[in-house]
Amino acid sequence: MRIDVVTLFPELFEVPLRTSIIGRALERGLVSVDVHDLRAHGLGRHRSVDDYPYGGGAGMILRPEPLAAAIDPLREVGALVVLLDPAGERLTDRLARELAGVAHLALVCGRYEGLDERARGSLVDREVSIGDYVLTGGELPALVLIDAVARLVPGVIEAESHESDSFATGLLEHPQYTRPESFRGMEVPAVLLSGHHAEVARWRRRESLRRTLLRRPDLLQAADLSDEDRRMLDELSRA
Ligand code: 4FV
């Protein structure tokens, strides 16, 4: 998978892209990330990339010309151009899995009050938001998207690991335990020490249903539930 990033702050990508799982994915060539400095396409001797909003108002707007100069070459080689923006479609596990299937992504990081609308309309294929709050820039959202997508690329992490993810199953993940068996008087549930894989699987499914029912009942509508699941949910909601 190839990812290009257009940003005014390339330095924000240095450390995250050479750290841990994502860093190893780039080292192993499973994912490539090229970061492009929008300032390099700035206008005039001050290489300006922004200007005042027509019609007045606070803040500055990113000009279309530097954006076009940075994005056109990526569109020409077939990149799907994604703008990170609060007005975009919400990033979900489903959208991350869809984008993980795209060979070449170009992520555009907004700054200031955003982009000139003509750039958004003519240079951008999709808009993605990581949540209903406003950040100072699109760089952290771009890193969130890179992390969410890259870990789904085959070989980056064990498939079993992301297939049992929260949301991949449509439910929140079950509680996890590791050594020691006893911690400050709190014990590991005996079923997890039993070796009965079917019992363990049933316990984990019930705990996923319980946590989802308590914290994200909205997810249950879309979740693919068996009759056994519905029986357990009835029991849990009566408890
Ligand atoms: C954002 C978000 C976000 C808006 C103005 C950058 C900022 C500034 N991007 N999900 N939430 N972007 O707040 O994606 O240009």
pLDDT of residue 169: 81
Q: Facing residues of 61 across strands? A: 51
CA of 138 to the centre of ligand 1 (A): 5
d(CA 204, CA 164): 11
Contact 177, 204 (CB under 8 A): no
Predicted confidence at residue 208, as pLDDT, reads: 96
For ligand 1, pick from 6, 90, 91, 129 the residue to mutate: most ligand atoms within 8 Å of CB: 129
Closest ligand 1 atom to 111 CA: 15
Contact 85, 112 (CB under 8 A): no
Tell me what pLDDT residue 98 has: 98
pLDDT at 95: 97
Nearest CA to ligand 1 atom 6: 137
Strands 104-109 and 2-7: parallel
Which residues have a Cβ under 8 Å from the Cβ of 141 and sit 6 or more positions away?
A: 84, 91, 109, 128, 129, 130, 135
CA of 139 to the centre of ligand 1 (A): 9
Which of the residues are catalytic? 86, 113, 151, 165
What's the CA-to-centroid distance between 74 and ligand 1, angstroms? 22
Query: Taking Cα atoms as reference points, which of 36, 74, 67, 35 lies closest to residue 49?
Result: 67
Q: Where does ligand 1 bind, in terms of residues with CB under 6 Å?
A: 84-86, 110-112, 114, 129-131, 133-135, 137-138, 141
Cβ count near 192 (within 10 Å): 17
Environment class of 31 (CB within 10 Å of its CB; exposed 0-12, middle 13-18, buried 19+): buried
Dihedral angle sign, alpha carbons of residues 158, 154, 152, 31: positive
Ligand 1 geometric centre to CA of 137 (Å): 6
Contacts of 118 (CB under 8 A, 6+ apart): 64
Q: How far apart are CA 167 and CA 165, in angstroms?
A: 6
**pLDDT tens, per residue, the chain with 239 residues:** 999 999 999 999 999 999 999 999 999 999 999 999 999 999 999 999 999 999 999 999 999 999 999 999 999 999 999 999 999 999 999 999 999 999 999 999 999 999 999 999 999 999 999 999 999 999 999 999 999 999 999 999 987 777 777 778 899 999 999 999 999 999 999 999 999 999 999 999 999 999 999 999 999 999 999 999 999 999 999 98
